[in-house]
Structure 1
Amino acid sequence: MRSAARAPGHGAVGAGLLERLLGAVGPEFRCDTLVFAPDDPVFGAGLCRVPGCGRAGRAGYGFCSGHHGRWQKAGRPDAEAFAATTDPRWHRQQPNMACRIEECGYGSARSGMCSLHAQRWERSGRPAVESWLRAAPTVRQPAAGALCRVAHCVLWPRAAGQLCHAHDATWRANGRPEMEEFIGRFEPAAVHADQIVRLDGLPPQLKLELQYALQCRRGDRGTKTPPAVVMQVVRFLRQTAASSLLEHPEEHWRTSIGRPAPKDSNPRALLLYARRRIEDLAQAGGWEGEYGRDVWQLRRLGFEGNTALSFEPIPQPWLRSLVKRWVRWRLSAGLVLETVRRGLRSLTRFALFCHGAGVGSLAEVDRAVLERYLADLQAEMAGSQRHGDQIGQLNSFLTAIRTQAWDTTLPATAMLFGTDYPQRSERPPRALAEQVMAQIEHRENLDRFEDEAHRLATLILIRCGLRVNDALRLERDCIVLDADRAPYLRYFNHKMKREALVPIDEELQALISARQSSLGPSPLLFPRPTKNPDGLQPMSSGTYRGALYRWLERCEIRDEHGQPAHLTPHQWRHTLGTRLINRDVPQEVVRRILDHDSPQMTAHYARLHDTTIRRHWETARKIDISGTTVVLDPESALAEAAWAKQRLGRATQALPNGFCGLPVQKTCPHANACLTCPMFITTGEFLPQHREHRTQVLQIISAAEARGQTRLAEMNRQVAQNLDTIISTLQDEPVPTDRTADAS
């Protein structure tokens, strides 16, 4: 199976790699036989759920293979009850049936008797068994103290042999192996045979490489790796003539092992993982080692996953070196990886254009060349979004060369202008129709999620407008309370690389709290459900999307045309923004709730700003019904989120004479009684309404007293008293005159 193709540079790194392997592989993995405990976080599957079994529960429902088969034969009863009552011993460890004669220590052979007693019973004409057993003759016994060689067996050995009748029959059926080897199969260690990896038969360096890969797998603790999968890889490597995983490129190993994908995916993934780790060890060196290569493996530079950046398609060495420098600078500046990759793709296209146009150096990249390139882009992309992105990335590249002085031969005319970009039409937000949202938010439909985690993630996406990856990476402790005990969801905005807060309602707070109490030790709210020993890996967006689309099909969600609704989780973000704008929530508040970087990003939803409103809000004196000043601390860590909550409350819980300080979407216990409610807040701009209200209240009190309605009069006296306090406190406060600006 040896292939003629070899990985480039294998000979150059071979000697150094062996030395590094010898220094890297620890004593725990430096042996031919590796035995892993059933509860090993990476190579184990957890103990069988039968107490006292001690084997790995890999066969389903938490059972080992033996107990799983026994459970199936029993008719699949309640798993908990079966685990509590069944014999914990392995089938091989259970005692063999003894002869029915109490004094006899031989094993049962036929008719419930040992072979010697069965012979005598048959020679007696097969009389009634019960009566014959009471007077059964004695038979020849072995030497005193002789027992079957199998450790747990207490039966007498058969004739001159070393085993009881049943174990002797098993020994013969297995081809009469060496006695010590056969007996060893019944030792307690043999119970964990599915937890053993045998590396004998591999070339020395290849064995070290696999040991190093398994050691890295244990250190990563990122996924489960059953020993059976490791043995599949070992058996495959034994059949090859390779002495190192680096003898062949990754693609060779990908297509050589097992059946075509997606079958045999686990051993294939382990083999590719092993080769990558060996290659990383051989080519270690960080930026100093990686920069000179034409394919950068970003995992060697501290990035997650196995993303690579390839500069090989850029044919010009002079341009490739500049693009490398530009990409390294952008990565070092902390740009999002996808943005960097888009830039590399754009420059690769520009390089291919220059190659075809005969541009031989940077000095030849002048305005004329750029105009030809702009025409080429227009012919291919015709004003699409990708068209503008291609121009923007090239402009950023040329600007960096000029400002960083990477190459002074760049002509001064090599410039792009705003008029070079294609006109982009404003696209409306991709909000979902309310008809679709009504079906999605219907409680009965939400309850049809198979996993409560998927249901909660969906509610967070709908009500908070998070991006799906931000929602799935929420920390377990993600709820923050302000001074009013109003809840906020704290999350990390990975696109903007900052923490953000968004106000939530009490129902969502309760659901998140219930989720927190049901989780194990994971620090995440939505940990990956499988292959996640320490709970440090979040649920993938692919897993959630798959569950979402199955749920949409199961609930038969339909669009306005009666067709199955097609949506993406990101559309809920657009839907929330559109809903808020439709409720007259100012754009600046929407921006803060969605944590956009600028008002322009929110312009898909509206063209509003409320900076003037906030300035008046912060400078105005705010008091409650007792005349006490209410302070909004502008230096507080919650100031931005608290302001968004206040503005959202003004839009959704507006009052004619002030504002409600109740946390957003919290049920009000003081219906139509704001002037007796401790959550009521007002400012000097509402003094005319308060004076008019006081006049009306005094009239109500007089009329109530005249009719003898003492209770009504007493209730309104409290309102009048509060109004007197409010008016006397606010009457010296200046009232803003720029009401037009205030309402903008």
Structure 2
Amino acid sequence: MPEQPSATASERRRTPRQTSRWDAEYGKDVWRLRELGVKDRRLARIIFEDIGQSWLKVLAKRWARWRLATGLGVISVSSGTRAIMHFGQFLEDVAPSVQGMADLNREVLERYLAHLHARFAGTVKHRMLIGQLNLFFTTIRQHGWDDSLPSAVMFFSEDFPKEAIRQPRALSEAVMAQLENSDNLAKWNNPSYELITQILMGCGLRITDTVRLPTDCIVHDGEGAPYLRYLNHKMKREALVPIDAELTEAITAQRRRLQERWPDGAPVLFPRVTHNDDGQESVGDGAYRKALHRWLKRCDVRDEHGQPVRVVPHSFRHTLGTRLINRDVPQEVVRRILDHDSHAMTAHYARLSDTTIRRHWEAAKKVNIKGETVTLDPDGPLAEAAWAKQRVGRATQALPNGFCGLPVQKSCPHANACLSCPMFITTSEFLPEHRQHRQQVVQIITAAEARGQQRLIEMNQQVLGNLDQIITTLENDEDGEAST
């Protein structure tokens, strides 16, 4: 009988020990995630040693094990554990009489709410600590882990602090113009990082999902249009986002480079360069963040005030969402592209976009067809209604060289160009269009004079005069700003 080959070291490690990993680790106050088969470069351990109450620690461990078993990310599991630790420290310092779940009541929770408000005052952490603890109570009831937990021990929506209005996090177009510049993109000394940047800009993926893209991430629909397929780790589902031919070719080129390094095929699109003989390990998002910082310095990217900009990978996601909303892409379409689970998140981009556009509109100098300055009171009693009319007008009556000030419900009585309409308003951002339009009008008048078309000459002379007034006023305004 032939001799059986001896088991390798890796095979020996995968036998009985595999089943005892949880038994060996569960009783410890510090779980080493790698020992549990959980690999995540962002977090190596989950810590329970700071939960002083044994009865609370037992339930915290059970909750953490169940959450990991369902596939929840280690960051979320750790956040839940820290929320319980905060609650346990509060009980130890302020309510030592609580010796078990049965001793909890609404009064204790209200004291804890006051404690959190005094320490964190409406921050993101404030909401997280309440929300995670509430999930903890809910899970205990769902699975019957402790029947002594009173039914009244829960937090309500009114208990959460009002969410602070988040400021815009999208990058300005001046900054994006520098980042998207082909010469700057060529300054990446790593084609993988350059492609990651293009995917972040064009698709709005989270960096974690981007670096974990599989090699076969491109799919086509029935008409041959390409899509990027990825796993949305936050929502735990596969998602698709449309891409253009240029990005498709860039991904195909990356796959060709991988074939040269790993002829047998690498399963991930962005493999780690070192300690990765089989190409199984993807590059870490932390490595890309550091490379992004170095690239920004090489390109000397600066904001409108000449200051170096701070860009993080998630900035590109916010920028794409804001850009799409600015282009009047329907919110439902934006939600699908960014794969938001909630319409409220997509609506956040719309609110930020509206705030930004309104601020620029109110600050810009506005002139009518006679070149006269138009003053709109941004603080008057009709300010909100006036802006609503202007916003609707932008979306439904867009003009190449300005905006229509006519209410959207009213039909336009002017059959000729808007430059002879008293409701027309424009700003200096349209100066290039006005100059080009003036050149075209001069050509029309010249041709009409050669043909003796007097009526056509008269109509366009009025437009030309209005254009001259508009251009002169706006140019004077720009010169004045430049000298200040």
1:354 to 91, 99, 102: 91
Q: Choose which of 111, 126, 129 in structure 2 pairs with 1:372.
A: 111
* Residues 1:431 and 2:170 are matched in the alignment: yes
Report if the CA contact (8 A) 1:472-1:539 is conserved.
Answer: yes
- For residues 527-560 of structure 1, the C-alpha deviation after alignment (integer angstroms, 9 at most, x for no partner) is 1111110011111112212221111101110011
Match of 2:340, SS state, is: coil
The answer to whether the 8 A contact 2:21-2:35 is kept is yes
The CA deviation string for residues 642-676 of structure 1, in whole angstroms up to 9 with x for no partner, is xxxxxxxxx9xx9xxxxxxxxxxxxxxxxxxxxxx
Tell whether 2:248 aligns with 1:479.
no
Partner of 1:381: 120
**Aligned residue in 1 for 2:315:** 571
- Deviations along 1:380-407, one digit per CA (max 9) or x if unpaired, are 0011111011111111112222333222
Aligned counterpart, 1:587: 331
Which deviations, in whole Å up to 9, do the C-alpha atoms of 1:280-310 show, x marking residues without a partner? 9989603334333332222233211572222
Question: 1:451 maps to which residue?
Answer: 190
1:460 corresponds to: 199
C-alpha change, 1:516 and 1:415, in structure 2 (3 Å) is: closer
- Do the aligned partners of 2:213 and 2:231 also contact (CA within 8 Å) in 1? yes
How high is the TM-score relative to the length of structure 1?
Answer: 0.44
Amino acid at match of 1:326: W
Listed as ranges, the matches of 1:642-657 within 5 Å are none
Per the alignment, residue 137 of structure 2 pairs with 398
Identical counterparts, % of pairs = 54
Partner of residue 32, structure 2: 297
**Take 1:603 and 1:341, find their aligned partners in 2: how far apart are those partners?**
29
Q: How does 1:178-577 map to 2 (within 5 A)?
A: 215-216=9-10, 285-305=20-40, 307-356=44-93, 357-358=95-96, 359-520=98-259, 521=262, 522-577=266-321
Q: How many residues align?
A: 341
Amino acid in the other structure paired with 1:431: A
Contact 1:370 1:414 survives alignment (8 Å): yes
Q: Which residue does 2:442 correspond to in 1?
A: none
Matches within 5 A, 1:635-714: none
Please give the alpha-carbon distance, in whole angstroms, between the structure 2 residues aligned to 1:289 and 1:518: 43
Kindly state the Cα deviation for residue 575 of structure 1 after the two structures are TM-superposed.
Answer: 0.4
Deviation, structure 1 residue 450: 0.8
Instruction: Indicate if the aligned counterparts of 1:428 and 1:604 stay in contact, CA closer than 8 A.
Output: no
Cα gap change, 1:603 to 1:408, in 2 (>3 Å): same
Distance 1:412 1:456, change over 3 A: closer
- SS of residue paired to 2:313: coil
- The amino acid that maps onto 2:120 is M
2:175–2:302 contact (8 Å) kept in structure 1:
yes
Q: What letter is aligned with 2:44? A: T
SS at match of 1:285: helix
Q: Which 5+ residue runs of structure 1 have no aligned equivalent?
A: 1-24, 29-214, 221-276, 609-650, 655-744
RMSD: 2.6
Question: How far apart, CA to CA, are the structure 2 residues paired with 1:294 and 1:445?
Answer: 49
Separation of aligned partners in 2, 1:553 and 1:501: 33
For residue 53 of structure 2, what is the amino acid of its counterpart? Q
Distance 1:27 1:415, change over 3 A: closer
Task: For 1:450 and 1:317, locate their aligned partners in 2 and report how far apart those are by CA, in whole Å.
Answer: 53
| Residues 222-260 of structure 1, C-alpha deviations (whole Å, 9 max, x = no match) | xxxxxxxxxxxxxxxxxxxxxxxxxxxxxxxxxxxxxxx
CA contact (8 A) 2:209 2:233 kept: yes
Which amino acid counterpart does residue 382 of structure 1 have in structure 2? A
* Partners of 1:27 and 1:585 in 2: CA distance: 59
Cα deviation 1:325-354 (Å, max 9, x = unaligned): 222222223322211110100000101111
For residues 154 and 291 of structure 2, the distance between their equivalents in structure 1, rounded to whole angstroms, comes to 49
2: distance between equivalents of 1:328 and 1:525?
31
Distance 2:25 2:127 in 1: 31
**What is the CA deviation profile of residues 543-591 of structure 1, one whole-angstrom value per residue up to 9, with x for unaligned ones?**
2122211111011100111011111011000000111111110111011
**AA at the equivalent of 2:169:** R
Distance of 2:154 and 2:341 partners within structure 1: 28
In structure 1, what is the Cα distance between the partners aligned to 2:7 and 2:168?
Answer: 59
Counterpart of 1:602 in structure 2 is: 346
Report the AA paired with residue 355 of structure 1: E
Kindly provide the amino acid, as one letter, of the partner of residue 142 in structure 2.
T
Question: Which blocks of at least 5 consecutive residues in structure 2 are unaligned?
Answer: 353-394, 399-484
- The normalised TM-score by structure 2 is 0.66
Distance 1:487 1:412, change over 3 A: closer
**In 2, distance between residues paired with 1:396 and 1:471?**
29
What pairs up with 1:612-651 in 2 under 5 angstroms?
none
Hey, which of these two has a bigger chunk of helix by percent?
2
Q: Distance in 1 between matches of 2:214 and 2:7?
A: 37
Contact 1:429 / 1:604 at 8 angstroms: preserved in 2? Answer: no
1:607 positional shift: 6.9
Closer/same/farther in 2, CA of residues 389 and 508 from structure 1, 3 Å limit = same
Partner secondary structure for residue 46 of structure 2: strand
1: distance between equivalents of 2:151 and 2:7?
A: 62
Larger Rg belongs to: 1
Equivalent AA in structure 1 for residue 319 of structure 2: T
- The 1:593/1:282 distance shift into structure 2, 3 A limit, reads closer
Alignment match, 1:258? none
Deviation string for 1:439-460 (max 9, x for gaps)? 1111111111111111111111
Q: Note the C-alpha offset of 1:514.
A: 1.5
CA distance in 2, matches of 1:380, 1:283: 43
CA distance in 1, matches of 2:16, 2:183: 54
1:325 is paired with a residue of what secondary structure? Answer: helix
Separation (CA, whole Å) in 2 of partners of 1:438 and 1:342: 38
- Provide closer, same or farther for how the CA distance between residues 576 and 382 of structure 1 changes in structure 2, counting only shifts above 3 A: same
**Contact 2:90/2:112, CA 8 A, preserved across alignment:** yes
Contact 1:429 1:578 in 2 (8 A): no
Q: State the distance in 2 between where 1:468 and 1:333 align.
A: 23
Q: C-alpha separation between the residues in 1 aligned to 2:331 and 2:103?
A: 47
- Partner SS, residue 403 of structure 1: helix
TM-aligned CA deviation for residue 431 of structure 1: 0.4
